[in-house]
Structure 1
Amino acid sequence: MNATKRRKHAASPATYAVAAAIAALAGFATVYWSLAPSDNGGRPAIAPEAPPEVASANGESGEASPLAGLNKGAMAAFLVRPKPLDVPDFTFADGEGAPKSLADLRGKVVLLNIWATWCVPCREEMPQLNALQAALGGADFEVVAVNIDKGGPDKARVFLEETGAKDLALYTDPSGKLFVTVKAVGMPTTLLISRGGKEIGRLVGPADWASPEAKRLIEAAIDAQPPKS
């Protein structure tokens, strides 16, 4: 092989560096998605090991989840829990710094969203979460968006103002323990919690929470267990 051909076939150090970087990114993506696929995906998700008749969102056995089949369109990545899961008790703080807990949310359907100011997808979906709260929020339902930034609530408060999220209450967890407690694998992570405090579904990543599909999903969760008279 002559000198000209050798120069054509020889790879420069820069070429090797670029190839290594691409390989590293590919490896990271593989690790991330290996953790997340059971809680996210491009098509309606439901746990494959579930029996055909399981507990419903109101905790009564022998019924399929009232959310079954509603995770489509904009909600295709939403994982329906065929059997409601226990959620470990967790704490966070309201805008005044007063402690709140999972027990304080009992009696209403809750869309628990975990976010941070540095999370770009969180910024993109915050107006949609606000629109969902404006449309359906009240005694039966609330979007509980908990910020996990460190250093106090001011940064989170500014973020909500910048994104126009005027209908969302300010909730924070600077300890970041909530992220671990609910076994989140990325941000944003959103859990749908029944009136009884059970997880009936979750979605990893951003979503169009202002979409008709999202509203139908939430309305089904609300209707599944009427409030006690």
Structure 2
Amino acid sequence: MKIQKPSATRMLFITVVCASILIGVYVGLRDYGETGADVTGASGSSVTIDIGGQRFVRWDEPRPLPALSFQDQDGKTVSLENFYGRVVLLNVWATWCPPCRKEMPSLDRLNAKRGGQDFEVVALSIDHDPSAVLPFYREIGIKTLRGYFDSNARASAALGAFAVPATLLIDKSGREIGRALGPAEWDSAAVETLIEQALSSPFNND
């Protein structure tokens, strides 16, 4: 069988996308102080946790998040408020992002194991064409993740997620516990410990 080589234009596109991701990750790591040690920022200090080959920056105090809205797979507008009372792992991703493809199965495994009334993995796609997402799920065998869409990238920009994948752990009160930039093994024991700690924290809906 003859294997067709990718065109020069497609290779250039892939190279530009990958370079953009790497630059965004570098800027994000710089801005969020992922140095492997405690850092101090405007909103307090943080600690870096190894979550199986990736670094997760956990804030000493959960940080408030801006009001966000995006679409679900039924075409309804939802916001973070719809998830109050539950712990959320919010993953900002795109179908054209190779690192996103790499980590997506682990997010699905985590959601299959822990998803329910108290916890959900919210995979928020920034694809301009939302119709590409569910076929992508089928292609790579995703079974439990729902489709959530931020096609204008306003929500991800408000989160400061300027590169994909970017993943935020959000507590039951809608505050950011911490985040990771780049792909990770999200069904690792270290991540489950973070989720357990978040689930044990009280819900404050003031």
TM-score, normalising length: structure 1: 0.72
- The CA distance in 1 between the partners of 2:28 and 2:169, in whole Å, is 20
SS in 2 for 1:167: coil
The amino acid across from 1:48 in the alignment is T
CA, structure 1 residues 160+50, in 2 after alignment: closer, same or farther (shift >3 Å)? Answer: same
Indicate the residue corresponding to 1:203 in structure 2. Answer: 180
Contact 2:28 2:181 in 1 (8 A): no
Q: CA deviation at 1:47?
A: 3.4
Percent identity over paired residues: 38
Q: CA deviation at 1:205?
A: 0.8
Deviations 1:102-161 (A, max 9, x none): 11011101011101010000000000000110111111110000111112x320111111
| 2:26 aligned residue (8, 33, 41) | 33
Structure with higher Rg: it is 1
Indicate the residue corresponding to 1:223 in structure 2. Answer: 200
Q: Is the aligned partner of 1:72 residue 2:64?
A: no
- The CA distance in 2 between the partners of 1:169 and 1:218, in whole Å, is 19
SS in 2 for 1:36: helix
- The CA distance in 2 between the partners of 1:160 and 1:29, in whole Å, is 24
SS in 2 for 1:130: helix
- The CA distance in 1 between the partners of 2:23 and 2:100, in whole Å, is 22
Q: CA deviation at 1:30?
A: 7.2
Q: Is the aligned partner of 1:125 residue 2:100?
A: no
Q: Equivalent residues in 2 for 1:83-162 (5 A)?
A: 83-151=61-129, 153-162=130-139
The amino acid across from 1:94 in the alignment is D
Contact 2:62 2:176 in 1 (8 A): yes
Q: Is the aligned partner of 1:176 residue 2:153?
A: yes
CA, structure 1 residues 145+172, in 2 after alignment: closer, same or farther (shift >3 Å)? Answer: same
The amino acid across from 2:146 in the alignment is A
TM-score, normalising length: structure 2: 0.79
CA, structure 1 residues 99+157, in 2 after alignment: closer, same or farther (shift >3 Å)? Answer: same
The amino acid across from 1:78 in the alignment is F
SS in 1 for 2:172: coil
Task: State how many pairs are aligned.
Answer: 187
Q: CA deviation at 1:175?
A: 1.2
Contact 2:54 2:182 in 1 (8 A): no
What RMSD in Å do the two structures reach over aligned CA positions? 3.0
- The CA distance in 2 between the partners of 1:50 and 1:174, in whole Å, is 30
The amino acid across from 2:30 in the alignment is P
SS in 2 for 1:112: strand
Displaced runs of 4+ in structure 1, greater than 6 A?
Answer: 28-31
Q: Is the aligned partner of 1:48 residue 2:26?
A: no
Q: CA deviation at 1:186?
A: 1.1
Which structure features the higher share of strand residues? Answer: 2
The amino acid across from 1:83 in the alignment is E
Indicate the residue corresponding to 1:188 in structure 2. Answer: 165
